[in-house]
Amino acid sequence: MNRIKNELHISVAGIRGIYPEFLTSEIVFNFGVVFGSYIKTKKIFVCCDTRTSSLSLKDSIITGLLCTGKDVVDLGIAPTPEMGYIIEKVETGNAAGAVITGSHNPQEYNGIKFFSERGTFLNATEMQKLLDIYYKRSFTVSKEPGYLYSGKYTERYFNGIFRTVDVERIKKRKFKVVVDVCQGVGAVRTENFLKEMGCEVIVINKEPHGIFSHNPEPLSENLTALSETVIREKANIGFAQDTDCDRLSFTCENGHIPGEELVVALTTRDILEYHKKGDIVVNLSTTSLIEDIAKNAGVYVYRTKIGEINVVEKMKELGAVIGGEGNGGVIFPDVHYGRDSFIGMALILEYMAYREREISEIIEEMPVYVLLKRKVEVSDKRMAAEIVEKIKKAASEKEQMNLEDGIKIIRQDGWVHIRPSGTEPIVRIYVEGKSKEIAEKYLSEFISLISS
């Protein structure tokens, strides 16, 4: 048994664990009480993904929140970005939120994501305050429990996206689209979303029962069935969402799987070429393709530590026009400040519509980068941090470095980013080169340095 699985991960990045061995109903109830004690708004939205444990864990967190006197709006099974949109753009400061989801993790996992009244995830400082309440048990229970309501906001959310893209132009193309929702929340949203943009839609793994046909992380190795279906159906493009719909990947009409890094790249091109020029914010591990795209448009790229909230806070500070994380998480602030696969699909379709090219032709005209992502398991989180310190000490002063989040070494023909995971006892290594040979050369150089 993999030792990484044998834990409940509680950190500033969020809460995650296997249900019911490590993430229990009691823990989720407690976090309901803790979050209700921490957050100042009277109203809190709650939703969940399709996992078999999600509906019951949603009830647990709702009960905890009601105990603190908060009023809860239950959205049922709903996408994480939909909740972000509602809090930021509909409630505008009057509500906060909690999502029960294991996100991109395998089906035995579940977890909690917390939204502040700004409609974005709690940042590290806020999350630490929440955890202080949890560990010190300094929560408050109200004599008068709150009220429970149910809510439906999907139409407003979709319209929020449709207002920012050229839906008429997309409709004219009558795209045929395959989407792999992997038995996740997309199963209750995505078909309608794409049909409203005039697409002919084929959904695979469409039952919303949370028993996943494949690993739900939208990585290329999990997109084989999607690619085959796109070819068989002669579709224009195939999309894949993770189970709570914040991350996206895609396959081309010819079956090619370009990789999730291309999502932010393509959407950035769409915004810079057809919406507006402005600066871009991505995390340190995102492909260098973004710099090439920015350079062509005469704008700048700013890089942040890993984690959606870090990207979001920098985007707000700079007034960036688009941003995100290379793992398939695009953030378009005209709709809301959160990673959103629905926005990703709309912007990619819009770009295809404007360019009047097949998606494979659009991909072919872009510079090629090979980004390899690996993880090295170690005995505990402290050891992961020690290994990264060791790499920092071993690095020559002549190297161009960034030490904001682990160590990123930037060379002429590629870069290496090594950091300890915030939640698991692993060291993450990202390597990018202008060819497979360069990327593999850097990967083996640093893997052997880690193992030495």
Binding-site ranges for Mg ion (CB under 5 A): 103-104, 242, 244, 246
Of 363, 352, 337, 291, the residue nearest 165 (C-alpha): 352
Exposure string of 19-29, with b = 16+ CB inside 10 Å and e = fewer, is beebbebebbb
Q: How far apart are alpha carbons 107 and 196 in whole angstroms?
A: 30
Residue closer to Mg ion by CB (options 68, 103) is 103
Of 255, 307, 324, the residue nearest 419 (C-alpha): 307
Active-site pick, 103, 116, 249, 285: 103
CB of 333 to Mg ion, least distance (A): 19
* Nearest-10 crossing angle of helices 261-270, 341-355: 60
CB of 14 to Mg ion, least distance (A): 11
Give the number of other Cβ atoms within 10 Å of residue 82's Cβ: 27
Asked if 332 and 345 count as a contact pair (C-beta separation under 8 A), the reply is no
Residue closer to Mg ion by CB (options 83, 170) is 83
Asked if 167 and 195 count as a contact pair (C-beta separation under 8 A), the reply is no
Q: How far apart are alpha carbons 46 and 37 in whole angstroms?
A: 16
Of 28, 38, 44, the residue nearest 149 (C-alpha): 44
Q: Is the dihedral of CA 291, 420, 39, 185 positive or negative?
A: positive
3-state secondary structure of 386: helix
Residue closer to Mg ion by CB (options 103, 120) is 103
Q: Where are the alpha helices (DSSP H) in 163-205?
A: 167-173, 190-195
CB of 302 to Mg ion, least distance (A): 23
Give the bridge partners for 248, in sequence order: 241
CB of 241 to Mg ion, least distance (A): 8
Asked if 61 and 112 count as a contact pair (C-beta separation under 8 A), the reply is yes
* Greatest Cα pair distance in the chain: 65
DSSP label of 367 = P
Asked if 373 and 428 count as a contact pair (C-beta separation under 8 A), the reply is yes
Of 278, 355, 410, 308, the residue nearest 104 (C-alpha): 308
Residue closer to Mg ion by CB (options 269, 428) is 428
Asked if 71 and 42 count as a contact pair (C-beta separation under 8 A), the reply is yes
| 103 has catalytic annotation | yes
Q: How far apart are alpha carbons 335 and 159 in whole angstroms?
A: 10
Q: How far apart are alpha carbons 234 and 200 in whole angstroms?
A: 11
Q: How far apart are alpha carbons 232 and 159 in whole angstroms?
A: 32
Residue closer to Mg ion by CB (options 218, 433) is 218
Residue closer to Mg ion by CB (options 246, 253) is 246
CB of 175 to Mg ion, least distance (A): 25
Chain residue whose CB lies nearest Mg ion: 103
Residue closer to Mg ion by CB (options 91, 340) is 340
Pairing of strands 109-115, 95-100: antiparallel
Q: What are phi and psi of 87, to 5 degrees?
A: -70, -45
Residue closer to Mg ion by CB (options 242, 253) is 242
CB of 282 to Mg ion, least distance (A): 17
CB of 174 to Mg ion, least distance (A): 30
Residue closer to Mg ion by CB (options 179, 359) is 179
Q: What share of the chain is helix, strand, coil (3-state, %, to 5)?
A: 40, 25, 35
CB of 20 to Mg ion, least distance (A): 21
CB of 41 to Mg ion, least distance (A): 24
| Residues annotated as part of the active site | 103
